[in-house]
């Protein structure tokens, strides 16, 4: 566990972010449960352990993480953002039934090598699918 905190601290330091207790805990939460949580989900999960934690701190911290590129924001639903510590290219499947957000690999070359996109500078890519997940279909 202490090893884990060491590892997470190093990620922050490498990105010029001072490894405060809250920042470590928030990044740890993202990395341990790769569930693409919302701010509220992070808050509800960490609050029992850190009763003084403020939602503003979560917002501040995530925005800080976004700027240095150690997390990605996902706009799957219009209502609220989700956060993903895996920044390598991949797609997302959101289950309408259980609410889970699954990762899946995507070959972006097919998408980028498109006549219509010649001359366009692509910085961000997102593939979002919605439907019913395998697990929910089996019940």
From residue 97 to residue 126, what is the string marking binding to DNA with x (rule CB under 7 A)?
------------------------------
Does residue 52 belong to the site contacting DNA (CB under 7 A)?
A: yes
Q: Name which of 21 and 104 has its Cβ closer to a copy of itself.
A: 104
Q: Name which of 48 and 105 has its Cβ closer to a copy of itself.
A: 105
* 10 Cβ contact partners less than 8 Å away, ≥ 6 residues apart: none
Does residue 124 belong to the site contacting a copy of itself (CB under 8 A)?
A: yes
- Cβ atoms of 91 and 105 within 8 Å: the answer is yes
Q: Name which of 60 and 81 has its Cβ closer to a copy of itself.
A: 81
For 121, half-sphere exposure in the C-beta direction (CA atoms, 13 angstrom radius) is 0
Dihedral of alpha carbons 16, 70, 74, 95, sign: negative
- The distance of closest approach from Cβ of residue 52 to Mn ion in the complex, given in angstroms and rounded to an integer, is 30
Cα end-to-end distance, the chain, whole Å:
37
Task: Identify residues 69-98 at the interface with Mn ion (CB under 5 A).
Answer: 84
CA 9/CA 23 separation, integer angstroms: 9
Residue among 76, 81, 71, 59 at smallest CA distance from 34: 71
Residue 114 contact, options DNA, Mn ion, a copy of itself, none, Cβ 5-8 Å cut-off depending on partner type: a copy of itself
Residues that bind a copy of itself (CB under 8 A): 73, 75-78, 80-81, 91, 93, 96, 102, 104-107, 110-111, 114, 116-134, 137-138
């Amino acid at each position: 566990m202490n090893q884990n905190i060491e590892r997470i601290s190093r990620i922050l330091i490498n990105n010029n972010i001072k490894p405060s207790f809250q920042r470590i805990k928030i990044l740890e939460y993202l990395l341990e449960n790769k569930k693409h949580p919302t701010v509220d989900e992070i808050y509800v999960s960490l609050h029992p352990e850190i009763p003084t934690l403020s939602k503003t701190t979560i917002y501040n911290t995530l925005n800080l993480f976004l700027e240095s590129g150690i997390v990605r924001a996902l706009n799957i639903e219009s209502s609220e953002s989700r956060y993903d510590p895996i920044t390598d290219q991949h797609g997302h499947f959101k289950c309408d039934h259980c609410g889970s957000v699954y990762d899946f690999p995507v070959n972006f070359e097919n998408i980028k090598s498109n006549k219509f996109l010649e001359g366009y500078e692509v910085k961000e890519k997102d593939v979002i699918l919605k439907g019913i997940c395998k697990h929910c279909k089996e019940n």
